[in-house]
Amino acid sequence: MPVRAIRGAWRKFLRLVERSLARPYRPRMSLGQPGPEEQVHKKPELAYAPPSKRLVYATAMCMLALTALCMALLLCVILTGNAPSELTTSIMALASTLAGIYIGRKGDVGPR
């Protein structure tokens, strides 16, 4: 029972990450004449390119590690009263990695 709940939560989390990483692109316009039953669109429809599984898993693991490090930092501050510089450095590194993933993914709008 708990394994199914954890597996379901993991799958929902991966779908959320996958949707957040999906990038829009415009399909290329065809140059030929449309057939008698084909519709001609003035604007091309917007489609979404799904991210690779490796990118989804890497982003999900990065988010989980960032959450764990933030919890460890809070625990250190509550118990000892000071924040270790190693924890803050690693939190900043993971946050920068996540920002780079999302900025790099959303900035490219052309088809691949």
Chain segment 21-41, per-residue pLDDT in tens: 887 766 555 555 666 666 655
Residue range 44-82, pLDDT digits in tens: 556 677 888 999 999 999 999 999 999 999 999 999 999
In a domain, 36, yes or no: no
Residue 40 forms part of a structural domain: no
Top pLDDT among 111 and 92 is at 92
Identify whether 8 is part of a domain. Answer: yes
Let me know if residue 28 belongs to a domain.
no
Q: Is the pLDDT of residue 96 over 90?
A: yes
Share of the chain above pLDDT 70, in %: 73
Can you give the pLDDT at residue 48?
73
Cβ count within 10 A of residue 109: 10
Please state the domain count of the chain.
1
List the domain range (segments joined by +) for residue 66: 1-21+51-112
Q: For the beta carbon of residue 55, count every other beta carbon within 10 angstroms.
A: 15
Is residue 75, in this structure, part of any structural domain at all? Answer: yes
60 backbone dihedrals φ, ψ, rounded to 5°:
-65, -45
Residues 88-93 have a mean pLDDT of 96
Q: Is residue 45 part of a domain?
A: no
**Residue 64 counted as domain residue:** yes
